[in-house]
């Protein structure tokens, strides 16, 4: 198994340790996803990468290995944007990325969300929790996701449905507790021709993420340090990002006050005490209902911080895919789609598709 040898390269001897080449990273991830490595070895490898700091070359090699064995839908589909939030979800804030994506679809974008449920270490709320409250659902079938995007301009697809090998990593990731490079890898399972909106945690990972998007051949993309490292901008402060457009990387700052959408605080969820050791927010029915209620209020026309955050998130998606020239135009298109009923019509149409 190659992982043990590559682990020595990462940290056995300080004078001899170095980053992996793209080819070495490719071999490492191929071995991990095949299920041929022990949980202990995988955990040690992930920790070594985290403390060393993952490089663009390593992430690119990991992504190429994953894409080589994944069933990636919507290949060649024009006007496609893939929305890639953190798969371990959110605990203190509702996952508004689902709402932003639906609003963008209502405004004319073809949106494929790539996410999952119950992913460690956080095991927070993700888009599927919100969809359940709208009568919609995530699919594990890439063929079905492609059909929904083609007919309804929106689908939420499980990353493990595309790449079952990710399931081999779940127990090791739970034991590691901290986020690892796998948290970035699973957000990169997108067709290379598509535009990408990717959530990034604070720190240098922002630049790394957008350089990987560029290196994987995507024509357009946005890496954004939104709420909890997600794709939805903050409403109480500026959000940093980097946009990829025409081969150029351009710094991006999303300031809610520029659109009259600023608030003193973020939309938050009530706290019900610490979860049980083996549970996460995704196991708390009341927390899920609270998050669904937040989104339901937005769809009913309530004007609050959640609505404004979702509109900015939709604006980022629309600008990234090229349906608006500026972020302000994107937010305006999103507002028109939400207030004009296009989003509720889109949800009804998607509900029909998912029950066929």
Q: Which domains are seen in the chain, by residue range?
A: 2-69 (1.20.970.10), 80-354 (3.40.1030.10)
d(CA 285, CA 146): 30
Q: What tens digit of pLDDT does each residue of 206-244 get? A: 899 999 999 999 999 999 999 999 999 999 999 999 999
Q: What tens digit of pLDDT does each residue of 74-115 get? A: 999 999 999 999 999 998 999 999 999 999 999 999 999 999
Task: Report the Cα–Cα distance between both ends of the chain, in Å, rounded.
Answer: 45
* Mean pLDDT computed over 8-27: 80
Q: What tens digit of pLDDT does each residue of 146-164 get? A: 999 999 999 999 999 999 9
Mean pLDDT of the chain: 92
Q: How far out from the chain centre does Cα 58 lie?
A: 19
- For residue 17, the model assigns a pLDDT of 72
Return all residues near 153 (Cβ < 8 A) that are at least 6 apart: 105, 108, 109, 110, 111, 346
User: Is 324 a residue whose pLDDT tops 90?
Assistant: yes
User: Is 42 a residue whose pLDDT tops 50?
Assistant: yes
User: What's the maximum distance between 2 C-alpha atoms anywhere in the chain?
Assistant: 63
- For residue 306, the model assigns a pLDDT of 98
List the alpha helices (DSSP H) in 182-326.
182-185, 205-215, 285-299, 305-321
Q: How confident is the model at residue 277 (pLDDT cuts 50, 70, 90)?
A: very low
Q: What tens digit of pLDDT does each residue of 176-185 get? A: 777 888 888 8
* Closest alpha carbon to 339 in 313, 306, 315, 303: 303
- For residue 15, the model assigns a pLDDT of 58
* Mean pLDDT computed over 110-125: 92
User: Is 55 a residue whose pLDDT tops 90?
Assistant: yes
User: Is 274 a residue whose pLDDT tops 80?
Assistant: no
Q: Give me the phi and psi of 293, to 5 degrees please.
A: -65, -40
- For residue 182, the model assigns a pLDDT of 86
* Angle, CA of 70, 53 and 168, to the nearest 5°: 35
- For residue 10, the model assigns a pLDDT of 79
Q: What tens digit of pLDDT does each residue of 257-266 get? A: 999 999 999 9
User: Is 341 a residue whose pLDDT tops 60?
Assistant: yes
pTM over 0.85: yes
* Mean pLDDT computed over 51-65: 92
List the alpha helices (DSSP H) in the chain.
2-11, 22-33, 39-52, 56-69, 97-106, 127-133, 142-152, 159-162, 170-176, 182-185, 205-215, 285-299, 305-321, 327-339, 342-354
* Angle, CA of 337, 343 and 346, to the nearest 5°: 130
- For residue 205, the model assigns a pLDDT of 84
Higher-confidence position of 130 and 247: 130
User: Is 6 a residue whose pLDDT tops 90?
Assistant: no
* Mean pLDDT computed over 131-149: 96
């Amino acid at each position: 198994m190659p992982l043990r040898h590559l682990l020595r390269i990462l940290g056995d001897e300080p004078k001899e340790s170095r980053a992996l080449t793209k080819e070495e990273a490719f071999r490492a991830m191929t071995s991990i996803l095949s299920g041929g490595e022990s949980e202990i070895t995988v955990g040690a490898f992930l920790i070594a990468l985290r403390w060393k700091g993952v490089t663009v070359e390593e992430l690119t090699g990991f992504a190429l290995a994953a894409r080589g064995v994944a069933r990636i839908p919507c290949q060649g589909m024009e006007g496609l944007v893939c929305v890639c939030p953190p798969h371990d979800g959110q605990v203190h804030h509702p996952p508004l990325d689902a709402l932003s994506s639906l609003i963008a679809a209502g405004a004319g974008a073809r949106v494929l969300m790539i996410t999952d449920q119950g992913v460690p270490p956080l095991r927070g709320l993700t888009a599927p929790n919100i969809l359940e409250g709208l009568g919609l659902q995530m699919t594990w079938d890439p063929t079905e996701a492609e059909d929904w995007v083609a007919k309804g301009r929106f689908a939420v697809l499980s990353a493990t449905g595309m790449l079952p090998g990710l399931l081999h990593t779940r127990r090791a990731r739970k034991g590691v507790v901290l986020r690892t490079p796998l948290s970035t890898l699973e957000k990169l399972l997108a067709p290379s021709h598509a535009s990408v909106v990717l959530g990034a945690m604070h720190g240098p990972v922002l630049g790394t993420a957008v350089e990987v998007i560029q290196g994987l051949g995507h024509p357009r993309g946005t890496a954004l340090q939104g709420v909890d490292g997600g794709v939805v901008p903050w409403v109480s402060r500026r959000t940093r990002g980097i946009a990829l457009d025409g081969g150029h990387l351009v710094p991006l700052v999303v300031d809610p006050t520029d659109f009259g959408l600023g608030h003193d605080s973020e939309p938050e969820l009530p706290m019900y005490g610490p979860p049980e050791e083996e549970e996460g927010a995704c196991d708390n029915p009341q927390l899920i209902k609270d998050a669904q209620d937040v989104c339901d209020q937005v769809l009913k026309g309530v004007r609050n911080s959640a609505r404004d955050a979702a509109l900015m998130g939709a604006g980022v998606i629309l600008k990234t895919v090229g349906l608006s020239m500026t972020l302000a135009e994107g937010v305006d298109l999103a507002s028109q789609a939400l207030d004009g009923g296009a989003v509720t019509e889109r949800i009804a149409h998607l509900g029909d598709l998912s029950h066929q």
